[in-house]
Copies of this chain bind each other. A is one copy, B any other.
């Protein structure tokens, strides 16, 4: 799914080029849960085995996962998130929160408990002021060319 042609220089597009393919984020979900073996991934994600193998290779190449043998003779492997992989977890959590809010009615299939003792409700905040991020409070500033807003509707 490489964003090879995205006319804009954009970290969102670049990130999606790595993890935006079908199943990639679900792989990350499983791996963050500690289910990093091939057959676990197949069962828990429901992806075709060959596609999964392709995704795993790409994620390893991208430095998001590592492949570790947990047994020689017989060789058995486990995929684990790297630091970069772990730092994608907030994306998963934010997505989960959105899904919980908009796609379900009260029945969350999975609850994550935070170390503070409460159920985790992920909230995206501004690091500087700590306030929750809201659309109206944001002003985009293009830094690179390629971001000139086209057409008369300039945001």
Contacts and interface: CB of A to CB of B under 8 A. Distances in A.
Quick one: copies of this chain in the complex? 2
Secondary structure dominating the interface of A: mixed
Contact of A121 (B3, B114, B117, B126): B126
Contact residues on A (Cβ < 8 Å of other chain), bracket:
35 or more
Contact of A10 (B88, B109, B122, B133): B109
Contacts of A12: 25-26, 29, 92, 95-96, 99
Contacts of A7: 43-46
A32 interface: yes
A116 B129 contact: yes
Given A20-B25, A35-B155, A111-B140, 17 more contacts: A3-B26, A10-B29, A10-B96, A11-B96, A11-B98, A12-B92, A15-B96, A15-B98, A34-B149, A36-B153, A87-B101, A93-B124, A93-B133, A110-B147, A112-B139, A116-B126, A122-B127
